[in-house]
Amino acid sequence: MMKIKFLLAAILCSVVGFAQSINDYKAVIIPLRYEFMKTDNQYRLATLSKQNLVKAGFEAFYSNEQLPDGYTDRCQVLYIDVKKDNAFLVTKLFVEFKDCYGQVVYTSEVGKSREKEYEVAYKEALDNAFTSVYALHYKYSGKPVASAKVAQKITAESLAATASVAPAAAAVKVAATPAAPSPDLKDPNLLYAQPTESGYQLIDKTPKVVMKLFKTSQPNVYIASKDNVQGSLILKEDGQWYFESYQNDKLVSEKIVVKF
């Protein structure tokens, strides 16, 4: 069983990685709020991120912006994340560039600041972290990035081949959880799941974060937040995902089309 798990993990890593260069991506998407922030653009970190990205040669857009014509595939762009290292009397930040699968393409050096005022410290630490990004001398190559559709096909074929050697008991265990059917990739309401440390964030095609998911002990149930409404995302017996919440003391159930 451990051998099967190892093979599955190896296949997934080889598929989603694709060894893409940072130069193969047309632009970078910036969230308005990083995980350690309490409000949107706190300490002007989203603004400072965009300024640094543009200075480094990237096209950069906030997550709530409509992308211009020419951006038809969410896998054409990178998604930036700024992480904070906890340290005594020192502010430490580093930058991660992730692809559309949530895989890290590049991680910057750690930027540090000993300034006591938060806004000054965060700016200095972020600017220092971007020093290693500038050193990349980014220039868009025009090389096509492997699309989600290609990765989906390779993953499905590879997993099917590997699963054929799994014990029958494992197959029974997998079948016990209802499987969502493959979503229609042309559905205008389709949301894409990006992995986070606590679960997933669902983004639309613009791309904009529409919903945040947090793992529970059940693989088919997530704690969910959408438009400041708290609820649950549940995989029902019909194989569809539903966002359920209470609004005006009434249970509301909304079908969600999502590609994990």
Note the pLDDT tens digit of each residue in 195-226.
888 889 998 887 788 999 988 888 889 988 88
Show the CA angle centred on residue 109, arms to residues 197 and 32, nearest 5°. 50
CB 25 within 8 A of CB 78: yes
Query: In terms of domains, do 130 and 37 share one?
Result: yes
User: What confidence tens digit (pLDDT) does each residue in 105-141 have?
Assistant: 999 999 999 999 999 999 999 999 999 999 999 999 8
Query: In terms of domains, do 93 and 194 share one?
Result: no
Query: In terms of domains, do 186 and 110 share one?
Result: no
Identify the CA nearest to 64 among candidates 75, 51, 50, 76.
Answer: 50
CA–CA distance, 260 with 208 (Å, rounded to integer):
16
Mean pLDDT of 176-184: 59
Query: In terms of domains, do 130 and 185 share one?
Result: no
Please give the DSSP secondary-structure letter assigned to residue 43: G
Q: Is 44 helix (H, G, I), strand (E, B) or coil?
A: helix
CA–CA distance, 12 with 18 (Å, rounded to integer):
10
52 within domain boundaries = yes
Query: In terms of domains, do 124 and 185 share one?
Result: no
CA–CA distance, 72 with 76 (Å, rounded to integer):
8
Query: In terms of domains, do 98 and 189 share one?
Result: no
Mean pLDDT of the chain: 80
pLDDT at 179: 58
Query: In terms of domains, do 53 and 118 share one?
Result: yes
Query: In terms of domains, do 30 and 86 share one?
Result: yes
Place of tokens 């300024």: 51
Q: Can you give the residue range of the structural domain that contains 237?
A: 178-259
Query: In terms of domains, do 124 and 226 share one?
Result: no
Beta strands in the chain (DSSP E): 27-30, 59-62, 77-85, 91-98, 104-107, 111-113, 191-195, 199-203, 209-215, 221-226, 229-235, 241-247, 250-256, 258-259
| CATH code assigned at 96 | 3.40.50
For the chain, what percent of residues have pLDDT higher than 70? 77
Where is the domain boundary, 70, 104, 134? 134
CA 191 to chain CA centroid, nearest Å:
12
129 within domain boundaries = yes
Residue 4 has pLDDT above 70, yes or no: no
Mean pLDDT of 93-99: 94
Where is the domain boundary, 107, 134, 161? 134
Q: Domain total for the chain?
A: 2
170 φ/ψ angles, rounded to the nearest 5 degrees: -65, -35
203 within domain boundaries = yes
pLDDT at 256: 92
- What proportions of the chain, in percent to the nearest 5, are helix, strand and coil? 30, 30, 40
81 within domain boundaries = yes
Query: In terms of domains, do 29 and 129 share one?
Result: yes
Query: In terms of domains, do 30 and 123 share one?
Result: yes
Q: Provide the Cα torsion 105, 47, 197, 181; round to 10°.
A: -80
CB 53 within 8 A of CB 80: yes
Mean pLDDT of 139-161: 58
3 within domain boundaries = no
8 within domain boundaries = no
Where is the domain boundary, 112, 134, 156? 134
Per the document, the length of the chain is: 260
User: What confidence tens digit (pLDDT) does each residue in 30-78 have?
Assistant: 999 999 999 999 999 999 999 999 999 999 999 888 888 888 777 889 9
* Structure tokens given for 27: 């632009």
196 within domain boundaries = yes
Residue 170 has pLDDT above 60, yes or no: no
CA–CA distance, 225 with 248 (Å, rounded to integer):
17
Identify the CA nearest to 219 among candidates 201, 202, 199.
Answer: 199
Query: In terms of domains, do 189 and 254 share one?
Result: yes
Residue 80 has pLDDT above 80, yes or no: yes
Please give the DSSP secondary-structure letter assigned to residue 166: S
Residue 155's alpha-carbon distances to 9, 13, 151, 186, in angstroms, are 11, 10, 6, 20
CA–CA distance, 29 with 188 (Å, rounded to integer):
20
User: Rounded to two decimals, what is the model's pTM?
Assistant: 0.55
